[in-house]
Amino acid sequence: MKALVRSSHNKAEEVITHAEEELALARLIRRGADRDLVQAQKTIEGLSGKLATATENWNALWKSFRSVADVLRTSADDGQSWAQFIPRIPTRFQEFAKRCAQVCTKNVLAQVRVLAPEAPLSKIAEEAESQEYLDAVEKMEPEVEDLASRIVDGLNIDISLSDDNA
């Protein structure tokens, strides 16, 4: 009977020892998991801050993009999604720039016609025939640049920004 009690006692001690080892291992795993959880929480907080900054930057970019895109949209674009409109932007921008250049050129030519009715306006569209002519044009550029800057500074150009974020 003593042998049976001793055997049972030894088995119980083995079980206790094994249980203590398993408990120690579980505690190590838990400590590691706690560290991992704290690290994950710090990472999430850091990424949340970066996401907030990226969202702010995206909203500013979107607002700027919308204001430019709204200038380029036409009535033919009504009802189209942004995905349908965006591929047209390079062509629309080129058309817009050409229209602006045409309006400016037309206005300058009209002013020249009024101020110097005898000036041969058709010469402007021709290729320069001589180096002398090119040199004369180059010599006039600073004066024309200053005049152009004064005129442009006096223009009232207002491009309304959209207030919605849609």
pLDDT at 39: 92
Rounded distance between C-alpha atoms, residue 58 and residue 40, angstroms: 26
Q: What is the pLDDT of residue 165?
A: 47
**Distances in whole angstroms, Cα of residue 105 to Cα of each of 96, 112, 148:** 14, 10, 12
Per-residue pLDDT of the chain (166 residues; tens, 9 = 90+): 778 778 888 888 888 999 889 988 888 888 888 888 899 999 999 999 999 999 999 999 999 898 888 888 888 888 889 899 999 999 999 999 999 999 988 988 898 899 999 988 887 777 767 888 888 888 989 988 988 888 888 887 776 655 554 4
The dihedral built from the CA positions of residue 108, 113, 115 and 121, taken in this order, carries a sign that is positive
**Predicted pLDDT at 163:** 58
DSSP secondary structure string for all residues of 64-119 = HHHHHHHHH--GGGTT--HHHHGGGHHHHHHHHHHHHHHHHHHHHHHHHHHH-TTS
pLDDT of residue 133: 81
pTM of the shown model: 0.54
Domain boundaries, the chain: 1-72, 75-153
Contacts of 162 (CB under 8 A, 6+ apart): 63, 66, 67, 70
CA–CA gap between residue 11 and residue 80 (Å, rounded): 79
